[in-house]
Amino acid sequence: MLYAILVVLLVAADQLVKILVRANIPLGASMPFLPGLVELTYVQNTGAAFSIFKDHTWLLTIISAVVAAAIAAALIKRVVAHPFGVITLSVVLAGAVGNLIDRALFGFVTDMFNLQFMHFAVFNVADICVVCGGIAFCVYFLFFYDKLEKKEAPDDSHPAEG
């Protein structure tokens, strides 16, 4: 239940920031956020990360829906039981849902965070969730899954009688 609340809060934060950007920043315009570090730039992204698959929003919408459903099913079925693993998947799910909402409603994803100290793609809260949650889940799966998700293995130490 707490994980569902985390997903809802992250999706709400993502959508709130996007609503504020669309309402207060003209398309393509920027305003300071953290001077010298990050500015808010209103961008409509019809693609995925770095605008790949630009103008294929319908395909990205389907992929996002399938990925979100798969992650939700994995969480419901408790494929990952350890709290850290569940949190990482919940954060990825929130990001997938946040961007899915934009694609389904508008045909584009609202992006706004523009790094001023390096050339990088403009991104949003949902993107942060997908990337950070995805990296954290990979670390969890590669280094901790076997230790923290121990399943009872069948006892093969006794030969079958017969």
Active site residues: 111, 127
Bridge partners of 113, per DSSP, are 40, 123
Beta carbons within 10 angstroms of residue 47's beta carbon: 16
Helices 83-106/57-76 angle, 10° precision: 150
Q: Number of helices (H) and strands (E), helices first, in the chain?
A: 5, 3
Residue pointed to by tokens 């730039």: 41
Beta carbons within 10 angstroms of residue 5's beta carbon: 10
Read off the tokens for 39: 């500015």
Can you give the length of the chain in residues? 162
